Amino acid sequence: MKRLAVILLFVSFTFVSIDLFAWGQKGHDIIACIAERHLTEKAKENIDKILGGKSMIYYSSWMDNVQNSPYWKGGYDRTKTWHYFNVDEGFTPQNMPRNPKGDVLSAINMLIDSLGTHQKELSDSVKFDYLRMLIHLVGDMHCPMHVGRATDRGGNDFPLKWFGSKTNLHSIWDYNMVERLHAWSYTEWQQNLDRCTKEEFDEMSAGSPEDWLTETWKITCGVYGYVKPDDNCSYKYMYDYAQVAEHQLLVAGYRLAALLNKIFG
């Protein structure tokens, strides 16, 4: 009986996790790996201290895990809405009514303000949490289906097929694209994407979190317009969107590095 209860708990955890995960672990690892390569020495040192010597990659998906874990007693339920920003058809990020429980933009701005201006007032454990959240959420903000419509729960209720298997638009962008595009490890992704000059890095990491969110939303509009429910997405879809997916992972890494250098450098 005890064994059955454990299995049921595991199954329910798995189900809850699947449609809420962002980019999948691979995407977040790639973004953190790219960002780590662009930290200043001073930022690296300060971040190392807060993370207790672990890498940013080690913690890149921590925020997805704690929000879903039934075992976690840390009170992270309130962060569930922080992973996305809904924009329904006919709205823009600027005129869409905001989620009163918070969204990825308000969360990132709060984290930047707290870690930047008010860092001295934060306890070590809050600083540790906030840094891990920032590492994760800058990634989420660049995932097109994290700026999806509320009406279909960010594409979770938009049924599609991926190479013939049933899935949905959210999962294709969180997981399938990254896993199918290249059979690379996150370090190989970094080596193959992260090849820009310092000028290109500066140009790509310019702007504010609101600008970046708006950029993602424009991509999201195209993503919605490209398919109809129950379409089968395969090679054509993958190649048409390969550069977009790769670009989003790269700029997310660059922007995360720029933010962290500003705060900790």
- Site residues, Zn ion (CB under 5 A): 22, 64, 83, 140
* 83 or 127: CB nearest Zn ion: 83
* 81 or 190: CB nearest Zn ion: 81
**Dihedral pair phi/psi, residue 161, rounded to 5°:** -115, 145
3-state secondary structure of 162: strand
Q: In what helix (H) or strand (E) does residue 161 lie, and over which residues does it extend?
A: strand 159-162
* 152 or 174: CB nearest Zn ion: 174
Query: To the nearest whole angstrom, how small is the minimum distance from the Cβ of residue 179 to Zn ion?
Result: 17
Query: To the nearest whole angstrom, how small is the minimum distance from the Cβ of residue 188 to Zn ion?
Result: 23
Cα 26 from Cα 19, distance rounded (Å): 16
For residue 180, give the nearest of 204, 156, 164 by alpha carbon.
164
* 135 or 219: CB nearest Zn ion: 135
Q: Which amino acid is at 35?
A: A
* 28 or 38: CB nearest Zn ion: 28
Query: To the nearest whole angstrom, how small is the minimum distance from the Cβ of residue 83 to Zn ion?
Result: 4
Query: To the nearest whole angstrom, how small is the minimum distance from the Cβ of residue 63 to Zn ion?
Result: 6
Q: Tokens at residue 59, please?
A: 């913690």
Query: To the nearest whole angstrom, how small is the minimum distance from the Cβ of residue 85 to Zn ion?
Result: 12
3-state secondary structure of 166: strand
Cα 50 from Cα 32, distance rounded (Å): 16
DSSP state at residue 91? -
Query: To the nearest whole angstrom, how small is the minimum distance from the Cβ of residue 230 to Zn ion?
Result: 27
Measured in whole angstroms, the distance separating CA 200 from the mean position of its chain's CA atoms is 22
Cα 246 from Cα 145, distance rounded (Å): 15
Residue nearest to Zn ion (CB): 22
